């Protein structure tokens, strides 16, 4: 079997017609040659925070899905020891370690890559991986800007590879049940959905530019983003709050909830009108003095926050957005990053609300409840699934690779692109400070060249999307 597979791999590569930008070799998809029982060799790209979630999930699939986490890759070599130890403890085998994604993609033994990098690397990493003949699991939002998201869709279509976007709610049984309930008219004809992300975030603080830590390959970490001197407040995890590398809370937690909203509304298209406003609220504008600075508190992401102290953050911590589709259907989004009340019947901080002609429905996590007209008690709800062992988007990814059936994917690249486009469009409206008309068929704004410039970016060579694909 091994010799046969190597022969087929070599045949596929020798007949390839796709050149990988900057990698210097050609490749072609060999998805169809992975047999039902063959091992799938995986490389994890990005191993901090969410990358650790990926690592644990794939290690758990070692026996049931015959997956080997063969390579861990990250630009920060300081992570290598602790993360490789997780793999060794769970699987009995230490993975190979690499800091340069390009070398991983040159490795012919790798069948698939899982991307948990900062947002600004999602598109380039996915396109390069597709051109190297690797299947891809890519975190949300699928892309950092809308243009490159479309190129990811094209790369997936052209190569025929399995590309899954990490919108994990798509795998939850109760969420899927809620979607079926809505689509079958459970609360009548839907006219509006709301996506909520109320997550208290204190100031991430300020810092002076400095030298990057030893063994942190900062230039490669920046990749497609403009060059800036290293600053710890723009680096690990904090990259979320800067336009060069992240998309704020709307592109972070918000993408998950916007995906559920669009899914429930059955909108397989872009909105026609977008309007978003907000700002950075609740933080001091002046630098603190040594005697009154707030002591740092370690939070998720292994970074510190500092109460109300001044922040370098660029993205808003309070944001509302309204999307209107061609048929008049509304989708609302709201992020509240300061102290707030909750919404829904039982207090929802992160979740979704749907409104129909006959009632409303709420989703929070892996549960849902529906209310008839103005009644206060639900007439339909999810079952308790706490004791169930649910499939995950990670297992669905592996199963789709092995079957060669793209229809099995619970969140393919196209679906992930349309959901990821929503926060990207909202952020453009927020940044230009006006309502925008979007021509979905062309993926351009109507008579607005300033807004159009934010649909893409100027890429820093050699980290640009190869055109043509």
pLDDT tens, residue by residue, 327-375? 999 999 999 999 999 888 877 789 999 999 999 999 998 999 999 999 9
Residue 461 lies in a domain: no
Mean pLDDT for the stretch of residues 80-100:
98
Position 6 scores a pLDDT of 40
348 and 231 assigned to the same domain = yes
260 in a domain, yes or no? Answer: yes
Are 11 and 66 within one domain?
Answer: yes
CB of 415 closer than 8 Å to CB of 437: no
Q: Which domain holds residue 176?
A: 171-392+420-453
Task: Establish if 467 belongs to a structural domain.
Answer: no
Tokens of 363: 């989703």
Residue 460 lies in a domain: no
**Contact yes or no for 64/98 (Cβ under 8 A):** no
Q: What's the mean pLDDT in 393-406?
A: 96
In a domain? residue 348: yes
Note whether 264 and 405 are same-domain residues: no
Question: Residue 388 has what pLDDT?
Answer: 60
End-to-end CA distance of the chain: 33
CB 203 within 8 A of CB 283: yes
**Residue 305 CB partners (closer than 8 Å, separation 6+):** 201, 202, 203, 204, 205, 296, 297, 299
pLDDT at 96 over 50: yes
For 181, the token pair is 């309930």
Q: Give pLDDT, residue 5.
A: 39
Q: What is the DSSP string of 99-161?
A: S-HHHHHH-TT--EEEE-S-GGGHHHHHHHHHHTT-EEEEPSSS-SSHHHHHHHHHHHHHHT-
DSSP for residue 232: G
Task: Share the mean pLDDT of the chain.
Answer: 92
Spell out the residues 6+ positions from residue 272 whose beta carbon is closer than 8 angstroms to its own.
324, 325, 326, 437, 438, 440
Q: What percent of the chain has pLDDT over 90?
A: 86
Q: Does residue 44 share a domain with residue 21?
A: yes
Please determine, for residue 25, whether its predicted confidence score (pLDDT) is greater than 70: no
- Residue 309: CB atoms within 10 Å: 20
CA distance 111 to 205: 41
- 329 shares a domain with 301: yes
Do residues 201 and 290 share a domain? yes
| pLDDT surpasses 60 at 385 | yes
Task: Give the pLDDT band of residue 18 (cuts 50, 70, 90).
Answer: very low
Q: Is the pLDDT of residue 221 over 60?
A: yes
Which pLDDT score, from 0 to 100, does residue 34 have?
Answer: 62
More confident: 22 or 317: 317
Same-domain check for residues 49 and 189: no
Confidence of residue 29 (pLDDT cuts 50, 70, 90): very low
DSSP letter string, 37-78: SS-EEEEEE--STHHHHHHHHHHHTTTTTTEEEEEEE-SBGG
For residue 31, what pLDDT is reported?
39
In this predicted structure, the answer to whether residue 14 has a pLDDT above a threshold of 80 is: no
Asked whether the predicted pLDDT for residue 35 surpasses 70, the reply is no
Question: Are 57 and 136 part of one and the same domain?
Answer: yes
Residue 207's pLDDT band (boundaries 50, 70, 90)? very high
Q: Which 8-state DSSP code applies to residue 307?
A: T
The pLDDT assigned to 386 comes to 64
CA 80 from chain centre, in angstroms, equals: 23
My answer on whether 409 and 437 are in the same domain is no
Least confident range from 128-142, 216-230, 385-399, 448-462: namely: 385-399
Question: H or E element: which one contains 323?
Answer: strand 318-324
Identify the residue whose tokens are 């026996």: 63
Q: Which tops the pLDDT comparison, 62 or 6?
A: 62
**Cα–Cα distance measured from residue 425 to residue 324, given in angstroms and rounded to the nearest whole number:** 12
Side by side, the strands of the sheet bearing 378-381 are 378-381, 367-372, 359-364, 350-356, 190-198, 330-336, 318-324, 273-279, 436-439, 444-445
Same structural domain for residues 382 and 302?
yes
Residues 162, 217 within the same domain? no
Number of domains in the chain: 2
Distance, CA of 46 to CA of 198 (rounded, Å) = 27
The pLDDT tens digits of the residues spanning 416-438 come to 999 999 999 999 999 999 999 99
* Domain containing residue 336: CATH number: 3.30.360.10
Q: Is 329 domain-assigned?
A: yes
- Domain presence at residue 462: no
User: Does the pLDDT of residue 13 top 60, yes or no?
Assistant: no
Pair (37, 58) in one structural domain:
yes
Mean pLDDT of 287-294: 92
Q: Is the predicted pLDDT of residue 216 greater than 60, yes or no?
A: yes
Q: What is the CATH number of the domain that holds 116?
A: 3.40.50.720
- Identify whether 463 is part of a domain: no
Residue 193 has pLDDT above 60, yes or no: yes
Phi, psi angles (nearest 5°) of residue 76: -105, 100
For the chain, the C-alpha Rg in angstroms (whole number) is 22
CA–CA distance, 282 with 279 (Å, rounded to integer): 10
pLDDT, position 7: 29
Both structure tokens of 132: 């190297």
Per-residue pLDDT of 224-282, as tens digits, reads 999 999 999 999 999 999 999 999 999 999 999 999 999 999 999 999 999 999 999 99
């Amino acid at each position: 079997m091994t010799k046969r597979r190597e022969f087929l791999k070599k045949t596929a590569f020798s007949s390839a017609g796709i050149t990988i930008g900057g990698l210097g070799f050609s490749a072609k998809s060999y998805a169809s040659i992975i047999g039902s029982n063959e091992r799938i060799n995986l490389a994890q790209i990005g191993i901090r925070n969410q990358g650790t979630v990926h690592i644990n999930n794939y290690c758990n699939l070692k026996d049931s899905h015959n997956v080997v986490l063969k390579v861990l890759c990250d630009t920060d070599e300081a992570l290598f020891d602790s993360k490789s130890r997780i793999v060794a403890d769970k699987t009995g085998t230490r993975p190979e370690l690499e800091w340069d994604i390009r070398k991983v993609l040159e490795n012919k033994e790798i069948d698939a890559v899982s991307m948990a990098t900062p947002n600004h690397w999602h598109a380039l990493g996915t396109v390069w991986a597709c051109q190297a003949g690797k299947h891809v699991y890519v975190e949300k939002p699928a892309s950092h800007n809308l243009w490159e998201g479309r190129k990811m869709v094209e790369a997936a279509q052209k190569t025929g590879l399995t590309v899954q976007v990490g919108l994990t709610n798509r795998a939850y049984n109760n969420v899927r049940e809620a979607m079926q309930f809505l689509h079958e008219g459970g609360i009548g004809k839907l006219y509006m959905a709301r996506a909520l992300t109320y997550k208290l975030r204190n100031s991430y603080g300020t810092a002076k530019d400095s030298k990057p830590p030893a063994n942190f390959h900062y230039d490669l970490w920046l990749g497609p983003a403009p060059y800036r001197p290293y600053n710890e407040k723009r680096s690990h995890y904090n990259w979320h709050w800067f336009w060069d590398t992240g998309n704020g809370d709307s592109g972070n937690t918000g993408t998950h909830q916007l995906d559920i909203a669009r899914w429930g509304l059955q909108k397989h298209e872009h909105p026609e009108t977008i309007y978003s406003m907000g700002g950075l609220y609740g933080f001091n504008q002046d630098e603190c003095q040594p005697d009154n600075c707030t002591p740092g508190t370690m939070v998720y992401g292994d970074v510190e926050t500092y109460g109300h102290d001044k922040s370098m953050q660029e993205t808003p911590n309070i944001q509302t957005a309204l999307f209107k589709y061609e048929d008049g259907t509304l989708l609302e989004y709201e992020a509240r990053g300061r102290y707030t009340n909750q919404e829904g019947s039982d207090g929802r901080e992160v979740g979704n609300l749907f409104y129909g002609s006959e009632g409303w429905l709420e989703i929070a996590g892996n549960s849902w409840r529906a209310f008839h007209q103005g009644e206060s008690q639900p007439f339909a709800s999810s079952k308790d699934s706490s004791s169930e062992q649910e499939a995950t988007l990670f297992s669905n990814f592996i199963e789709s690779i092995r079957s060669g059936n793209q229809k099995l994917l619970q969140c393919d690249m196209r679906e992930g692109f349309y959901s990821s486009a929503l926060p990207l469009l909202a952020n453009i409206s927020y940044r230009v400070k006006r309502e925008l008309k979007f021509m979905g068929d062309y993926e351009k704004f109507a008579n607005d060249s300033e807004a159009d410039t934010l649909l893409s970016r100027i890429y820093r060579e050699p980290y640009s999307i190869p055109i043509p694909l």
